[in-house]
Amino acid sequence: MKPITLAGAVVSASAGVAAVAVPTSDYEHRIPTSYESAVLGRRILALTPLGTISTVFPQDTHANDDDASRAENRPAGLGGMPYGLMEYIADCEDDDLGNPTILAITVGTTFKNIVAGSNVSLSVQWTPPHPPAKRIKNKTRRGWLSYLGLSTPHHADADADADSGPDASHHDPTPYSAANLPRFALLGHLAPIPGGDDRQDAVGARVASCYLKSHPDARYWLPGSRVHESHFMRLVVEQVYWVGGFGDRAFIGWIPVEEWYVQTVSRKEWEDVRLPGEKKGWKEWSASEDL
């Protein structure tokens, strides 16, 4: 096993990420650029139907002082408190800007906070559809961490030679190393999609049809339904924070927002890249060039 460079560990640590660098197999990986990471992120956005939207309660929130608070029996003193919950997301605008499409349900707390002026953070993680054929294993023999002086006698080792696959990971709720997979936060605000709520409108018809491909159950609460008042909105991305995986092989940091947008990332580009675990038989230690 080849000793690893310290650079990756330093990058991880400075980004406040728990995971440290892990060994390369027989060659050093090239860390992708922020732009290459943006392409991967755009693909993750296109393929992932769920995310967590965080908002902040308005400062003037008081218990039960309006219909909305009464309806949810909201406690007092929540002003400034962050609140994050799973929401449906989609990638439905044909401007190809990478602004996620959100169906805002007026009665939802997330959207009440937005109406009260909150900015939003949408966090999305990549979940591989297939478990890896070779896993990062915990072994008790002298591990790679000892090269960094970080190991304890039984610290997790990172050899990729062992068995694994679906049987070995049968009882494992995350049958892959989630710390080594990409995730990101899109920071910005919600804005209406002009024409988006009108299915007689070309924009509205296309957005609804695209959204239903990701979320067929949402047909019951599309704009104009009797179940809930709802509106199609776009999350206007202002900043992008990216953690691509372990810092010795992945980019960790802010992606310049102009790299996220269409001026640089085209549909063709994100359609052409592949993410870890999209194909069967992948190895957790693989770098993006091996996928």
Ligand X SMILES: *[C@@H]1O[C@H](CO)[C@@H](O)[C@H](O)[C@H]1NC(C)=O
**Which stretches of the chain bind ligand X, using CB under 6 A?**
117-119, 138, 140, 154-156, 238
Nearest Cα neighbor of 44 from 119, 127, 104 is 127
Nearer to ligand X, 154 or 280 (CB): 154
Nearer to ligand X, 77 or 117 (CB): 117
CA distance 154 to 142: 8
Please report which residue ranges of the chain form alpha helices under DSSP H.
6-14, 34-47, 67-72, 109-115, 202-214, 257-260, 267-272
Nearer to ligand X, 156 or 291 (CB): 156
Nearer to ligand X, 56 or 208 (CB): 56
SS3 labels along 85-145: EEEECECCCCCCCCCCEEEEECCCHHHHHHHCCCCEEEEEECCCCCCCCECCCCCCCCCHH
Residue 155 C-beta: closest distance to ligand X, Å: 6
Nearer to ligand X, 71 or 162 (CB): 162
CA distance 161 to 159: 6
Residue 189 C-beta: closest distance to ligand X, Å: 6
Residue 145 C-beta: closest distance to ligand X, Å: 10
Query: Regarding beta strands 120-125 and 252-255, do their DSSP bridges make them parallel or antiparallel, or are they unpaired?
Result: unpaired
The answer for residues whose C-beta is within 8 angstroms of residue 218's C-beta and 6 or more apart is 88, 103, 211, 212
Nearer to ligand X, 117 or 166 (CB): 117
Residue 139 C-beta: closest distance to ligand X, Å: 7
Query: In the numeric block, which tokens belong to residue 264?
Result: 């640089």
Nearer to ligand X, 98 or 143 (CB): 143
Residue 55 C-beta: closest distance to ligand X, Å: 10
Residue 223 C-beta: closest distance to ligand X, Å: 25
Residue 156 C-beta: closest distance to ligand X, Å: 4
CA distance 65 to 81: 18
Q: Is the sign of the CA dihedral 250, 261, 56, 193 positive or negative?
A: negative
CB under 8 A, 24+ apart: contacts of 68-74: 68/107, 68/112, 71/107, 72/109
